[in-house]
Amino acid sequence: MNIEITPQILLGSVDAVASKSHAHRLLISAALSKRPAKVKISTTSQDIEATRQCLRQLKADIPVLDCRESGSTLRFLLPVAMVLKEEAVFLGSGRLPQRPISPLKEEMEAHGCVFTNQHRKKGDAEEICHIKGTMSGGIFTLPGNVSSQYITGLLFALPLLRENSQIRITSPLESRGYVDLTLDVLKDFGIEVYVEETEGCPTYKIKGRQQYLAPEEVTAEGDWSNTAFWVAAGVLSKGSGVICHKINPHSVQGDRQIFSLARRMGGIVLEKEQRILAMEAPLKGIHIDASAIPDLVPILAVMASVAKGTTYIHNAHRLRLKESDRLAAMYDCLSRVGADLIEEPGGLTITGVPRLKGGRVSGYNDHRIVMAMTIASIVSERPIIIEGAEAVNKSYPAFFEDFESLGGVYRVL
C-alpha cells in the first residue's frame, strides 16, 4: 500500500496502544504458569499474534514455530522451547531469517542443543533453525552489547530447569530497560532472579525448579515505543498539542526516554497520572546516546531534521540489524525529503533545516520507518509519499486511523 500524506498539524488526543514488549512477556509467562491467568491486551499487532500463535504450537510434540517477522518471538522462545522439548523447528519471514541469533545459539549449543538449517521454505516462511536436544542449565556468558532479547529468553527458560544457572554479562549492558521489564514480569509471576552488579556488568542468578504462578489477571501497559511518535507530533505541531492517554510515565520501558529527550531538545512535554501532553516549541540539536533506545532513533531523526543546530546520534550500530538497516533507511528517506544529514558507521549526524520539502520514500518494510516519515509530513512543505505503508501492521495496525483522528490527511494511491 502506497500512501500520500498532506502536510497538516496534529492536535487532539489518542490512547496509547498496548506495549508489544510487555505483551510478549505477559503471554509467555502466562503460558508457562501452573495456574490460568487472564491476560488483557487492549490492542494487538502482527508481532503479538506471532507470539500467541507460537505458544499454541508449543503444545505439539515437535513444535514448528512460525515467528513471522518478530525478532522478540524468535529470541524469547528459542531457549523456552528447548527446555520444554527435545526437538523444535523455527520459521520466519521478511528479514527475520537473516537476523542474528548468535551468541545465544552458541551458548545453547554449549548446553546440549544442536542447531541445523536446511533453508527450507514453508509457504511464505523460511526455516531459521531446526534444534534437537533439551537445554541444560549452568553458566551462560553473553556480552552486554548484543540484543537484550537473548537475555530475556534465557531468563524465561532457566527457572524451569533442575539445575541452578547464571547469566554472566561480560561488558556494560545496553538496552537494560528491556531486561528490567522482563524482571518485573517474572517477579509478578513468582520467579526469583538475583542480580549482582560489577561495573555495569550484571550477573543474573536463577534457581532451578521454580514454578510460574500467575496472578488472576494481568494487563499490558501502554507502549512508549509507539507513543513516541505522538510525542514528536505534539512538539512539531503548532497549537494546543497532542495528549496521549493510558501511558505510564513511570514505566520501566526504556523508550520512556522520549519524554526526557524531547524536553532536552526544547519541546514542552508534561505528565499527569496516565497522560502525557506534548506541545510545540523551538527545537535544538543535542547529543543522543542510542545504545539503550534503538527503537527511538527513527523518530528522533525526524525531530532533529528541523531542530536548530546539529544533532549527533551515536551508539546505534544495532539498528543495522532490525527489520531494515534503520540508519541507512532513515538517511535515505530524510535525504529524499530535503533533510541535511550524514550517515555514520554507528549513527547519524543531522543539521536542522527550517522545513522539509516533501517527496517519495520507501517504507523499507519497516513499521518504525513508515511511522517516522508519516510524522515528518507535519514539517514538510509538500506531500510525502510512502511506499509499503502497510508495514505499520507489525506493531500498530490502527496507526493511520489514530493519525487521521488527530487531523492527519492521507490517501491511498
Q: Are residues 207 and 261 in the same domain?
A: no
Average pLDDT over residues 133-158: 95
Q: Quick one: 158 and 176 in the same domain?
A: yes
Q: Are residues 268 and 306 in the same domain?
A: yes
What lies within 8 Å, CB to CB, of 274 at 6+ separation is: 222, 245, 246, 247, 248, 249
Q: Which of 219, 249, 274 is the last residue of a domain?
A: 219
DSSP 43: S
What percentage of the chain exceeds 70 in pLDDT?
Answer: 100
pLDDT at 119 over 80: no
The Cα 347–Cα 360 span in angstroms is: 23
Q: What is the mean pLDDT of residues 33-51?
A: 93
pLDDT greater than 80 at residue 122: no
pLDDT at 200 exceeding the cut of 90 = no
Residue 231 CB partners (closer than 8 Å, separation 6+): 242, 244, 258, 259, 262, 267, 269, 276, 278
Q: At what angle do helices 176-188 and 148-157 cross, to 10 degrees?
A: 20
Once rounded to an integer, what is the mean pLDDT over residues 191-196? 96
Pure H helices in 90-175: 104-109, 148-157
**Residue 399 and residue 274 share a domain:** yes
Residue 337 dihedral angles phi and psi, to the nearest 5°: -105, 15
pLDDT score, position 124: 82
Kindly state the average pLDDT of the residues 90-115.
95
Q: Which of 223, 255, 295, 402 is catalytic?
A: 295
Looking at the fold, whether 336 and 355 belong to one and the same domain comes out as yes
User: Are 45 and 190 found together in one domain?
Assistant: yes
Domain extent at residue 34:
20-219
Residue 118 has pLDDT above 80, yes or no: no
48 with 132, same domain: the answer is yes
Q: 273: pLDDT confidence band, cut at 50, 70 and 90? A: confident
Residue where a domain stops, chosen among 193, 219, 245: 219
Number of domains in the chain: 2
Q: Answer yes or no: do 291 and 369 share one domain.
A: yes
| Residues 187 and 333 both lie in one domain | no
Q: Are residues 10 and 27 in the same domain?
A: no
Residue 321's pLDDT band, with cuts at 50, 70 and 90, is confident
pLDDT value of position 249: 86
Q: How far apart are CA 74 and CA 90, in angstroms?
A: 7
**Do 215 and 298 lie in a common domain?**
no
CATH of the domain at 144: 3.65.10.10
Under 8 Å between Cβ of 86 and 60:
no
Per DSSP, the residues of 252-312 read: --GGGGHHHHHHHTT-EEEEETTEEEEE----B--EEE-TT-GGGHHHHHHHHHTSBSEEE
DSSP code per residue over 63-101: -EEE-TT-HHHHHHHHHHHHHH-SEEEEEE-TTGGGS--
Question: What type of residue sits at position 159?
Answer: P
Residue 332 has pLDDT above 90, yes or no: yes
Compute the distance between CA of residue 370 and CA of residue 247 in angstroms, rounded to an integer: 22
CB atoms inside a 10 Å sphere around CB 16: 23
Q: What is the pLDDT of residue 240?
A: 76
Q: What is the mean pLDDT of the chain?
A: 95
pLDDT of residue 341: 98
- pLDDT higher than threshold 80 for residue 14: yes
Same domain for 186 and 45: yes
Looking at this protein, which amino acid is placed at residue 285?
A: G
Tens of pLDDT, residues 368-411: 999 999 999 999 999 999 999 999 999 999 999 999 999 999 99
Does residue 295 have an active-site annotation?
yes
What the block records as the C-alpha cell of 296 is 527511538
Q: Of 219, 241, 273, which residue sits at a domain end? A: 219
